[in-house]
Amino acid sequence: MTDLLQILHDLGRITSTEADDAKAKFSELCASAKSKHKEQFDTFSREQHLDVFYSKIFVGDEKQVPLWKVVKMVLILSHGNASVESGFSVNKELLVENMEEDTIVAQRIVFDAIRVAGMDVTRIDISKKMIGCVKQSHSAYQTAQQLKKEKQSAEEKHASEDRKRKATIASLQQQKKQSWLS
């Protein structure tokens, strides 16, 4: 940790005060790992994301802000765009031919909510309430489709009226030019 803090300080990423505070908080965290945070460290698995793991430890503890700042920097540096890239692979699995953007967004929201809740998509208990929601989803889909058609129809009507107005204006301007020339 000392070497890491020295490198971050040399690169101008943190001040010497922040480095000292982070080092002190790291020592406190190491000491509390055997008592206060023992269960969290004992149950940690390599499949768990480090950012989620540490955020659970640091959340709501203002004293840990200097150390959390350093941990976030290290996690960002080591993984770069890994979360963005993993998001792309999840989106690729969700895609089906001719799928609309709203559907992709909705599926991604559900997937992320399940993952954040710490559940596995393949191990969800399907309740009567969920079944009821699914049954109602088709009518919600039909309503959405009807609204989409009405909106499209209104836009087409507005565009048609716009074209008629422009044609009328052009015709009147043409007549005005001809009357001036006469």
pLDDT at 78: 56
Res. 98 pLDDT band, cuts 50 70 90: low
Q: What is the DSSP letter of 98?
A: T
pTM score: 0.40
Among 79, 97, 115, the domain-final residue is 79
- In angstroms, the CA 58 to CA 24 distance is 15
The reply to whether 168 falls in a domain is no
Please give the structure tokens belonging to residue 94: 């969700």
Q: Which of 11-15, 130-134, 151-155 has the highest mean pLDDT?
A: 151-155
Q: Is residue 169 part of a domain?
A: no
Q: In the chain, how many domains are there?
A: 3
Question: Are both 25 and 94 inside the same structural domain?
Answer: no
Average pLDDT, the chain: 80
Rounded to the nearest 10 degrees, what angle do helices 65-79 and 16-32 cross at?
Answer: 90
Residue 161 within a domain: no
- For residue 46, the model assigns a pLDDT of 72
Domain span at residue 104 reads 81-124
Same domain, 108 and 53: no
Note whether 64 and 91 are same-domain residues. Answer: no
Question: Does 173 reside within a domain?
Answer: no
* Residue 144: alpha-carbon gap to chain centroid: 24
Q: Are residues 9 and 67 in the same domain?
A: yes
Give the CA diameter of the chain: 100
Are 62 and 18 contained in the same domain?
Answer: yes
Place of tokens 């976030």: 72
Using CA of residue 18, residue 24, residue 30, residue 35, what is the dihedral sign? negative
Check residues 127 and 47 and name the one with the higher pLDDT: 127
Q: Say if residue 56 is in the same domain as residue 93.
A: no
Residue 85 banded pLDDT, cuts 50, 70, 90: very low
Same-domain status, 60 and 86: no
CA torsion sign for 155, 159, 160, 162 is positive
Please indicate, yes or no, if residue 44 is contained in any of the structural domains.
Answer: yes
Tell me if 7 is assigned to some domain.
Answer: yes
How many residues belong to the chain? 182
Asked if residue 90 belongs to a domain, the reply is: yes
pLDDT the model gives residue 168: 95
Give mean pLDDT, residues 2-16.
Answer: 88
Quick check: is 54 in a domain?
A: yes
Q: Are residues 87 and 73 in the same domain?
A: no
**Rounded to 5 degrees, what angle do the CA atoms 57, 124, 112 make?**
50
